[in-house]
């Protein structure tokens, strides 16, 4: 088991970022709701604890409290925002309402030399209404801002610290260094969380779970299912069979790309089936997005089961669940296998399935999944493929799904992708090529075909055709997202190409809504 840090979540919108920053220090971290049973958290054998922020006040009735085992463990503790206040409250200090709330940028000045904070002043990101009035016994102020006399505090002997600001967000430029100091120096955690170690641990878990039995994988063409399948292939070799169902709802060229990528490693154990006609017939007349998911999920698994019967009906099924899926479904348990339920990735799956799940990516973020995929030798076009929903283009083709509308959507989506690639904006990357600069690029970009017709003029002829909506977002964790500020000239060029090259579309619009209040996908 790698050295690790346990992160207790008190409800902050930034908690998942804490885990990402710790893992950027090459140390494994895992999130737990603050009231997770003691034995579950301590089973991780953490080297230290980080307490997240949260929206509550420590004096509110029913406010989250610091679990007793955190202090009893004697391990290092770092409280962030509400976590700092909960630590203060538990140890006998005093928390009070700030005279002026701090939301946004601030500057903190380090007051004395300490192992957590660098000397001097630094910009940080604040988000709090309460502040520390009196630190607990044994704690001393380490930093101050204009509105927070105790912007950071510490008990150096007991290795317990608190920060009123958020080091995990990019608006605190030196935040990663602060977390690195806590994790690597104060907690003395070994930086052994690397793609190689992720692969080693994942393959060991797969072998332990599956043993000598056969294992089945559903390859969808998405990054997660592809990397999960490649991990399973490395773990059990010939015990793995993969089924690639062509639903007719995939992106342009996707079927050929996926088959080519896996044919080399799986050979005859890759079973492809063209079920596109079945899916289109089943979707005829269906417009409600939830009904689409139910129809697709039901038919997908029945098609999958047919193929499985032909190869011996394996009991185990590889699923490409990743950590954001786990966090969003509030499932902190560490089980490695479970039965598929309707909320899993494909969407709308029947509950009477007999497969037991193997989830090798269950505790990996998307960037870690991609790093593992590269390490396994998967082709870049597969590893860096844009995220894709389980029901495929059916939930990007609003209204009824027909073969003609799908072809229009596929063509428009391919143009959007091509032009973003040419502009160097299809993937997120640090500005200037280093790892510290501002991120540029998009995390996910796609086209949605709307069942909205409008009048246009092409070649002096009146047209009455459908509308394509471009969706392009920036995000670090897909829990929240902002719309990408693409250059106007680029948007104009993309719009011009789509209208001129794709039949059935005469208008292009750009979605400028963040998540929340919207979702990334339209359906």
Distances (CA, A) of 81 to 33, 54, 167, 313: 16, 7, 10, 52
DSSP per residue over 295-324, as a string?
HHHHHHHHHHHHHHHHTT--SEEE----HH
Q: Which of 128, 166, 344, 408 is flagged as catalytic?
A: 166
Short-list 248, 260, 252, 232, CA closest to 320:
232
C-alpha 19/C-alpha 353 separation (Å) is 33
Q: Which of 168, 368, 466, 523 is flagged as catalytic?
A: 168
33: which 2 tokens? 């709701």
Annotated active-site residue 397? The verdict is: no
Distances (CA, A) of 264 to 146, 167, 175, 222, 258: 61, 44, 43, 18, 11
Annotated active-site residue 166? The verdict is: yes
Place of tokens 């394509």: 468
Q: Which of 81, 359, 476, 523 is flagged as catalytic?
A: 81
Annotated active-site residue 168? The verdict is: yes
C-alpha 418/C-alpha 210 separation (Å) is 41
For 141, phi and psi rounded to 5 degrees? -65, 135
Query: DSSP letter at 260?
Result: H
Count other C-beta atoms under 10 Å from residue 460's C-beta. 5
Question: Do the beta carbons of residue 126 and residue 145 sit within 8 Å?
Answer: yes
3-state secondary structure at position 8:
strand
Catalytic site positions: 81, 166, 168
């Amino acid at each position: 088991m790698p050295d690790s840090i346990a992160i207790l979540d008190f409800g902050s919108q930034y908690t998942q970022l804490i885990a990402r920053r710790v893992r950027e220090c090459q140390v494994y971290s895992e999130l737990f709701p603050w009231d997770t049973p003691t034995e579950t958290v301590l089973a991780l054998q953490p080297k230290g604890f980080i307490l997240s922020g949260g929206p509550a006040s420590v004096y509110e009735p029913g406010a989250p409290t610091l679990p007793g085992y955190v202090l009893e463990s004697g391990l290092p503790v770092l409280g962030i925002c509400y976590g700092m206040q909960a630590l203060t409250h538990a140890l006998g200090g005093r928390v009070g309402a700030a005279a002026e709330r701090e939301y946004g940028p601030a500057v903190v000045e380090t007051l004395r030399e300490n192992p957590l904070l660098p000397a001097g002043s630094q910009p940080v990101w604040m988000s709090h209404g309460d502040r520390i009035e009196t630190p607990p016994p044994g704690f001393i102020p380490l930093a101050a801002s204009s509105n927070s006399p105790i912007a950071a505090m510490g008990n150096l002997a007991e290795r317990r610290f608190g920060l009123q600001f958020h080091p995990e967000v990019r608006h605190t430029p030196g935040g990663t260094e602060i977390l690195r100091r806590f994790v690597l120096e104060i907690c003395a955690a070994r930086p052994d969380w690397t793609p190689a170690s992720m692969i080693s641990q994942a393959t060991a878990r797969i072998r332990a779970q599956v043993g000598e039995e056969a294992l089945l994988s559903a390859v969808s063409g998405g990054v997660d299912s592809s990397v999960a399948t490649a991990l399973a292939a490395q773990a059990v070799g010939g015990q793995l069979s993969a089924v690639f169902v062509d639903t007719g709802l995939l992106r342009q060229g996707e079927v050929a790309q996926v088959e080519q990528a896996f044919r080399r490693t799986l050979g005859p154990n890759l079973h492809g089936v063209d079920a596109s006609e079945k899916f289109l017939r089943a979707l005829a007349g269906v417009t409600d997005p939830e009904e689409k998911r139910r129809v697709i999920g039901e038919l997908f698994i029945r098609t999958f089961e047919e193929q499985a019967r032909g190869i011996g009906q394996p009991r185990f099924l590889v699923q490409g669940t990743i950590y954001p899926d786990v966090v969003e479904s509030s499932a902190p348990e560490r089980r490695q296998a479970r039965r598929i339920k309707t909320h899993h990735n494909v969407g709308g799956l029947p509950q009477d399935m007999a497969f037991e799940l193997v989830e090798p990516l269950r505790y990996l973020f998307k960037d870690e999944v991609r790093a593992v995929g590269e390490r396994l030798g998967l082709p870049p076009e597969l590893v860096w493929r844009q995220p894709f929903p389980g029901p495929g283009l059916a939930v990007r083709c609003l209204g009824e799904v027909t073969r003609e509308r799908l072809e229009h959507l596929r063509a428009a989506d391919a143009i959007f992708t091509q032009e973003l690639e040419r502009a160097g904006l299809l993937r997120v990357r640090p500005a200037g090529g280093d790892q510290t600069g501002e991120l540029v690029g998009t995390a996910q970009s796609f086209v949605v075909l709307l069942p909205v017709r409008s009048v246009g003029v092409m070649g002096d002829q009146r047209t009455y055709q459908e509308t394509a909506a471009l969706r392009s977002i920036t995000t670090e964790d897909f829990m929240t997202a902002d719309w990408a500020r693409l250059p106007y000239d680029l948007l104009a060029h993309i719009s011009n190409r789509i209208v001129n090259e794709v039949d059935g579309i005469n208008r292009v619009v750009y979605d400028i809504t963040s998540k929340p209040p919207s979702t990334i996908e339209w359906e």
